[in-house]
Structure formats: C-alpha cells, structure tokens
Structure 1
C-alpha cells in the first residue's frame, strides 16, 4: 500500500467531510510511457490496461492505495509542547479574519486530517462522465427543487441545474478553464472512501 498527497480545494474538502464526494477526476499528463515496453500509451490504451487490472502505469496507484488530502491550513496557539490546527475549509470559531493560512501545496503529511482509500481507478474522457458520477464529484443537491449546485447559495445566481453533468462542467471549468472542458481531455477517475488515519 502506498500513500500519496493530493490537493483539494475548500469546496471539495467540505464535500468529502459531508460524504458527498467519493470520486475525483484529474487530467492525464501525456505522454504516458509504458513501464513494461518503454513506448508511449494513448488514452484508450491506458484505459484498456487499467480495465484489465494492470496498474503499473497508473499515476495514482491502485485499489487499496491511499490519498492524504492536502488543503489550506494553519498552526496556531503554538508553544514548546503543542499547537492547534486550523483548516480553511472549516475554520474554528473565532478565527481572525486576517489569519495567516498556508497553501495546500505546503501541507506536510502530519498536518493532514483526511485520509482516503482508493476503491477503483480508471481513465476516461471528461465528457463521458455519467449523471451519477457527476453527483459523486461532490455536488450539492437542493432538497426543495432537486437541482444540483457546487455551493449552497449558487442557486440564487443561476448556478444550479437539474443536470448534474452540466454543474460538474462548471466545477471543472472553475478549476481547469473552459478550454480544458471543451478539449474533452483524458482524465484519471479515482473512486475512494474515507478511512481513519488522518494525522491531525
């Protein structure tokens, strides 16, 4: 079993904590070199290998490997023997407005509070996402209307739809840009469950 760190933004951290997010998609960085043959793999070849159970060329490991979540964080109340941790996605009561946050890229393993176990991994084109999988990317479903949104309150600004795939496309574009969505890139599809073992 291997552990790797992975960055999640505040919205997605809250979705993991709420149990709404059980999948993440990340762009495949080409070229992917086959570790057996030394040749370059196309997206459909990589997808075929993973579906056949060959995870040698997987950038994120295999079933049973773990991901520790990297998020924006801070240490405070520091003295010689102890300190408290704060996380921007869920700041503690009374956290000062101008409190100093550390970027998620600089979060060490010992500061991570969320540990995920990979339950499945694959590769697909981003436009191939299903309605169900789009919802499992952490979307919020509004109880009154059944529409999906990324954050509570988005519905008041035109940011809600009955089509989970449409809302997921907005989420993708907010992170990677509209041109990325339009290019329909190959993506890693990582399914996971939360497990005990977050360090903080």
Structure 2
C-alpha cells in the first residue's frame, strides 16, 4: 500500500473560512521548476514537464497552517512544543487554543497577539485535507467559462444572490453590495492578485492545481 505523506500548507483567514464552510476545495500555487524541466511545444511555447508536485499526490494529506494562539505559558515560552498537560480537545472547547479565522479579536480572548500561520506547529492544527487530484495549467486557463461552469468557484469564491435571480461573485464578501463581480473569473483575479500581486496575474504563470477534500484529523 502506497505511503501516505503529510505536509503543511499555508492558508489566509478568508480561505480557512472557505474551507470550513465547504466552499474551497482547490488551491492554485505558482509552479517553480528548475531549468531542464521545460520543453518547447509545437507552437514554440515553453511548457512544463510535470514532475512530483511539492504538495503531494492524490491520497496524501495536507495539514493547514493558519493564524493561531494558545493561552498556555509553556507554549508562549517557545518553541511552540506541545505541553504534556495540554489536552487539545479541551483547549479547543475552553478557548485556550483559538484561531484568527474565526473572527475573534485579540482582546476578546485576552490575547496579547496572534501567532502567524508560519509558526503553527502540527499539534495545533485543526484542518486536515486529503489531496484528490493534482494537475498543471496556466493561471488564466478558465477565462471565458460561464458562471455555471467556472472552475474558479471552487477556489472559495462567494456566490452572492442578488435577489432577482442573478448572482454576483466576490473572493471575500458574502453579502450584496458594491465591489462584487458579475463573472467568477474577475473575482478569481482579485483573489490571486491580492495574494501574489498584479504582476504575477499579468504574467499568467503555470500553476499547480491541487484539489482536496477535508478529512477528520
């Protein structure tokens, strides 16, 4: 039986909420391949030769790193090792272990500061994902798809009912209002550019497309 590997992956608070709500089932990450892993296509374009995806293969697991805080003196002292007397289930129930994506302000939990996602240890994670598919495509390959068939809805894009049978789309907002898009592709562009910059969007890079489902940790 193939070995199931487990790797960490970073997600912002809005994307964590989208995963928890079941709206986000795919992530796209810029493909970075060394020289020699590209070939020239028939039309003269350089295209990647897919090798092992750094995020894993179908069946592998990803544990989500997100903004967090644990109100335990041993944890705060570092280097974020799990104390022997810390029961994770109890810590989640009594607010000792909390997450920024849940909308809590630091003062509401008497927290001096949130800990960045990059510093989250594996024992503190609450979200585990199983990879269901991995492929390579250009960032903007889905341009021109209808709202119904758009591949980018699964990125966690909010589908906002306008009250008249029409829908608008936004990467962060879930209520009707200004700033929404009539095309999911435009909402996807806002999401990508907000994370990676407008230059990255305009470059239309090759990306890893990692589809996943949430599983019980």
Smaller-chain TM-score range?
A: 0.7 to 0.9
Cα separation, 2, equivalents of 1:100 and 1:13: 19
User: Which one of the candidate residues 116, 126, 132 is aligned to 2:150?
Assistant: 132
Give the structure 1 partner of residue 197 of structure 2: 177
Q: Is the 8 A contact 1:120 1:192 kept in 2?
A: yes
1:95 CA drift (Å): 2.2
**Which residues of structure 2 form unaligned runs of 5+?**
40-45, 75-82
Q: Quote the RMSD (CA, aligned, Å).
A: 2.3
Cα separation, 1, equivalents of 2:123 and 2:72: 17
Per-residue CA deviations over 1:135-189 (Å, capped at 9, x if unaligned) read 100011112241111222675342x112101100000000000000000001000
Give the structure 2 partner of residue 35 of structure 1: none
1:91 CA drift (Å): 4.3
Give the direction of change, closer, same or farther, for the CA distance of 1:121–1:153 in structure 2 (3 Å limit): closer
Residue 126 of structure 2: SS of its match in structure 1?
Answer: coil
Cα separation, 1, equivalents of 2:61 and 2:97: 22
**Which residues of structure 1 form unaligned runs of 5+?**
33-38, 50-55
Give the structure 1 partner of residue 78 of structure 2: none
Tell me, yes or no, if structure 1 residue 112 matches structure 2 residue 125: yes
Give the structure 1 partner of residue 116 of structure 2: 103
Stretch deviating more after TM superposition (56-65 or 93-102): 93-102
User: Which one of the candidate residues 23, 38, 41 is aligned to 2:38?
Assistant: 41
Taking structure 2 as the reference length, the TM-score comes to 0.76
Aligned length: 182
Tell me, yes or no, if structure 1 residue 68 matches structure 2 residue 87: no
Q: Is the 8 A contact 2:159 2:174 kept in 1?
A: no
User: Which one of the candidate residues 186, 194, 199 is aligned to 1:166?
Assistant: 186
Say which one has the larger Rg.
2
Cα separation, 2, equivalents of 1:99 and 1:154: 31
